[in-house]
Structure 1
């Protein structure tokens, strides 16, 4: 099953290098926040630094992906990652001791966020070239999604252990080392070197977004729902005098996401990808709606696990549709647009729910959060299927070709 993916020549080596570099994304956010707070003594400055870093990283993702497609990952990713690592190193040096100027940290965070290398989307481009069999590609994307989920769970734990023995800035230095080492190992892989620059990317770049309305709409709704859910779980736990239990409820959501991703990749689906994407959004909405009825934390944890069951399948299916909807030379950009929609939705969902929590009953807040993926499913269902550009694997149905219902 998944072993067939990893047995593909050079796959394990390339995937392992990408995961090493991507671990830095799980460590950098908490490290940056802790280091900024320790260096300036201000939560406001720490929050501003984080906001600037995150905004630059998300909003400039499509531009960085365009460079990857235009010049090839080996030529574009190496200077991007080394520049990013160098900027993180400067931030670590500036925040190593108290007294760092807040404006300087904000400028450095802006520059670092602008240079964040898109290792995840580039790895998915490599998977797409490596595995023309769409069933194997679905498993590869599912495995990739589950691994990424685990990285974002384990990254803060690594930082938590590290700051017991070293200043918080050491976590930023660790993040810099991880991304530099992982990227250099990644681009050294023959699979990455075989990804050519796309001469057509500049001519066709305006066509990417229009073909991705369906997957972008769904992951945007899913991101809004999950961003809101994080805040709602904390509010629910605090309302019952158990703020510490919020971490366990969110861990249940992550566990559900991992299980859902592995199960999604293990099934040889016959239902078209577009239908599966809509069903995943509906499942996410229904699970969040059920959370509104939770009488206590144990039931909420169960509902959160059910929410998680649909997260990785939704993202995996969105990546598959995006991959099939654009020219092969634009796959990195397509994947980044899906990523950007999810991250932007998550940030927006947290911000919007922050305005609602405390002004409305929690069950109503959960229902509002559930409305986002429900609306996204409706929008996706109304979108026409884009023309498929990726070549079909002989003997397999095309993604939107009717088959036996499963």
Structure 2
């Protein structure tokens, strides 16, 4: 955008042809992910009568989904969204349906349920990374792309808050397996509508232009900074969920109070994401990223000093304020650091880092709770985020000093310097 042109707003995103249709379709599919974890856990517990089995099945499903995410994203980059996502969504929805049918009534064999959960997790369509890749193709202006990623993060927060509420409504009238069926229907119909959108259907895979650029990306230097911060944020957030529960129990609050504290975390993240997207930052993303991770760590230090649930809620909301900006900035750096042909994989690596960190943080703090005072547990969770910020400064400096800019990064830098993109109108007309 030129210096005299108005600052791009969130509304400008939806003036892009077919953007509203594409976003709505992607959100429909991604709502499935807000439902599926709780739905699978409740269904497994109902079918087997064992919370231990339910927890194990959830861990297996989550591991298959998280750690295979970059491999599934590579299929999208290589073959295009339509050819990769439709088979993945069909397999995923079919396996969830088989899971629901098998576990509809009590007495289902735990081994069969576990096998179906692992297989379903392995096929989870990477709708989030693919949607962010679509945004990066639609929006050549970095300021507007920042708003797109910020809005995407806020909408994702809303999905993961509303998903369990939908499951709660379903189980009032039907067995928990019905919520698994609903999740399958949402992901299949949403993915189909997404790939049939003119924006996605008309896109073609962007080949990596040289073996040299592919080798440079595979070396990991370009993605080290965003992945390190995403991992640290995930570790801290995974710890917070369990620490809030332990705090409520220690102060003799009802379990329902935990939901309000975690809702404050999501609300803070949503507000932080919207504000981050609306500000025209003078600091580069590589500088902002460790600062947001530091903000999260310091807010968790504040949570360690909370005398009661009200103060803890405020501290957790302040921590949430830095979550969406940190992840949005990580996605921006990942997108600009790799060749166009592997953007979906880059976003998937950031996703994998934050999700794996969440699981690791919950497991790690579970070993500390009861052995250390809760205040120290909050301090340790904040220190993890601060450590990630410090490590990311080093990794970011190393990547910038040793890796020449990719075509994507050079293009964004050129657009930022010139203020306009001479191919913008032509690109918009094609979608």
Q: TM-score, normalised by structure 2?
A: 0.90
Q: How does 1:370-389 map to 2 (within 5 A)?
A: 370-383=382-395, 384=397, 385=400, 386-389=403-406
The gaps in structure 2 that reach 5 residues or longer are 1-8, 419-431
Task: Check if 1:396 corresponds to 2:409.
Answer: no
Is contact 1:201–1:330 with CA below 8 Å preserved after alignment? no
Distance apart, 1:91 and its partner CA: 0.4
Q: How does 1:284-363 map to 2 (within 5 A)?
A: 284-363=296-375
Residue 239 of structure 1, aligned match among 233, 244, 250? 250
Q: Partner residue of 1:24?
A: 32
User: Aligned pair in 2 of structure 1 residues 84, 395: CA closer, same or farther (>3 Å)?
Assistant: closer
How far apart in 2 are the matches of 1:200 and 1:259? Answer: 37
How far apart in 1 are the matches of 2:251 and 2:15? Answer: 49
Q: Partner residue of 1:207?
A: 217
How far apart in 2 are the matches of 1:46 and 1:117? Answer: 23
User: Aligned pair in 2 of structure 1 residues 394, 382: CA closer, same or farther (>3 Å)?
Assistant: closer
Q: How does 1:223-302 map to 2 (within 5 A)?
A: 223-242=234-253, 243-302=255-314
Q: Partner residue of 1:140?
A: 148
Is contact 2:141–2:415 with CA below 8 Å preserved after alignment? no
Q: Partner residue of 1:402?
A: none
Task: Check if 1:221 corresponds to 2:229.
Answer: no
User: Aligned pair in 2 of structure 1 residues 146, 53: CA closer, same or farther (>3 Å)?
Assistant: same
Question: What secondary structure is seen at the aligned counterpart in 1 of 2:370?
Answer: coil
Out of 242-251 and 292-301, give the one that drifted further. Answer: 242-251
How far apart in 1 are the matches of 2:74 and 2:415? Answer: 33
How far apart in 1 are the matches of 2:233 and 2:85? Answer: 29
How far apart in 1 are the matches of 2:210 and 2:60? Answer: 29
CA RMSD, Structure 1 to Structure 2 (Å): 1.4
Q: Partner residue of 2:204?
A: 196
User: Aligned pair in 2 of structure 1 residues 95, 206: CA closer, same or farther (>3 Å)?
Assistant: farther
Distance apart, 1:194 and its partner CA: 3.1
How far apart in 2 are the matches of 1:33 and 1:397? Answer: 50
Is contact 1:71–1:198 with CA below 8 Å preserved after alignment? no
Distance apart, 1:197 and its partner CA: 1.9
Q: Partner residue of 1:152?
A: 160
How far apart in 1 are the matches of 2:53 and 2:286? Answer: 43
Task: Check if 1:128 corresponds to 2:148.
Answer: no
User: Aligned pair in 2 of structure 1 residues 305, 201: CA closer, same or farther (>3 Å)?
Assistant: farther
The gaps in structure 1 that reach 5 residues or longer are 399-406
Q: How many residues align?
A: 398
Is contact 1:33–1:50 with CA below 8 Å preserved after alignment? yes
How far apart in 2 are the matches of 1:266 and 1:128? Answer: 17
Q: Partner residue of 1:403?
A: none
Is contact 2:208–2:340 with CA below 8 Å preserved after alignment? no
Is contact 1:21–1:183 with CA below 8 Å preserved after alignment? yes
How far apart in 2 are the matches of 1:258 and 1:397? Answer: 30
